[in-house]
Amino acid sequence: MKKIVVVAADNAVASNITGVMDFFAFCNTFWHVSNEEQVSDLFDCKLVAAQGNSVTTSLSFVLPAHTHEVLDDADALIIANAHVYNAAGFEDYLQKISPLFGHIKALHARQKPIGAFCSGTFVLAATGLLDNRSATCAWWLTDLFKSSYPKVKLSHDCIVVEQDNLYTGGATTAYLSLCLKLVEQMAGEHVASQMSRIMLVDPNRSSQMPFMTLQQLKGHKDDRVNKIQQWMQANLSESFSLDDLAQRFALSKRTLMRRFKQAVGDTPVNYLQRLRVEEAKRLLETTPVPLEEIVTRVGYGDVSTFRKLFQQLTQLSPKAYRLRFNLAFA
């Protein structure tokens, strides 16, 4: 029997703690139904509190928990995510859970798998274990994560990334895919395959890109760049060059590039492409407008070129995107 430990501190997301524990409980049920002769469970999953013997979740649910001694013989560990959305919230959660950092690093030294997802990846990164390693987190936390942990090789588009027994997952429900990966490692492909069917978890789900938007938590205070962004949004169908944009807003081309990159984290051209794809996504999700008309509305003259750009930024063709996200086609 493998001992799984979920570690958390106050303000953790309740459903992601209980969801992880339920996942391994369902594995045990499947194991006994499939192997009636088996007496012991596959997994023993326990919650460990960073402080005290309970965790008060973000919804004020109080979950009874064990103390850190349970970590001494754990076979795997998963870090629960917190209900946070800014740097101050992350700092508070990290402070609360930091007493467990030594135990987390000790488990990794014993080559035990360690998982984290969504904002929980920040906790794992704070231990230093992700330095110079690949990882992922919630796509909408990308900017904050990069600025906080520049040594981590962030693959923000992935659902799950594994390197050196460190498993990181994307946004909130990525814990299902993360659990599936851990089950595969600890119980084998057959059990993982069956659990993917029972839990309706697509084992081939690999990317967050179809769900991404331009909305990030990190803003900026450059009023001129804000005005440029607003103008771009309002004039997606127009054709204009960087020189046109610089002249319109009384900036040199070099200054425009520098200030835009500093404020937005991208070049004006790349940002405009992403804006146009965002508008195309909105139209594909909410209207039956043909792709050819959508392409014209967002400022492109060639459907084939736009289709390639769309697939590059979403990992889906426009047709596949509409089929997945437009409720009229569901």
Copy the structure tokens of residue 288: 């039956």
Residues across the chain: 330
Which pLDDT score, from 0 to 100, does residue 329 have?
Answer: 63
Residue extent(s) of CATH 1.10.10.60 domains in the chain: 223-329
CA distance 236 to 257: 19
Measured in degrees and rounded to the nearest 5, phi and psi for residue 283 equal -70, -35
Q: Which residues pair with 4 in a beta bridge?
A: 45, 76
| Centroid of chain to Cα 38 | 37
For the stretch 307-312, contacts whose Cβ atoms lie closer than 8 Å and that sit 24 or more positions apart, written own/partner, are: 309/273, 309/277, 310/277, 310/280
Give the pLDDT of residue 217.
Answer: 45
**Both tokens assigned to 220:** 């900026």
Query: Whole-angstrom Cα distance, residue 158 to residue 59?
Result: 28
C-alpha 187: how far from chain center: 25
Predicted local distance difference test score (pLDDT) of residue 222: 87
> Residue 216's pLDDT is what?
53
Contact 134, 46 (CB under 8 A): no
Angstrom distance (rounded) from CA 267 to CA 228? 12
Dihedral of alpha carbons 161, 166, 168, 173, sign: positive
Q: Given CA atoms 181, 171, 329, 322 in this order, what sign does their dihedral have? A: negative
- Identify the CATH assignment for 2-210 out of 3.40.50.620, 3.30.365.10, 3.40.50.720, 3.40.50.880: 3.40.50.880
**Averaged in consecutive runs of 10 residues, what is the pLDDT profile of the chain (330 residues)?**
96 96 96 88 96 94 95 96 90 95 97 96 97 92 89 88 96 92 94 92 75 60 88 88 92 93 88 90 90 93 92 90 78
Q: Does domain 223-329 have CATH number 3.40.50.2300?
A: no
| Whole-structure pTM value | 0.74
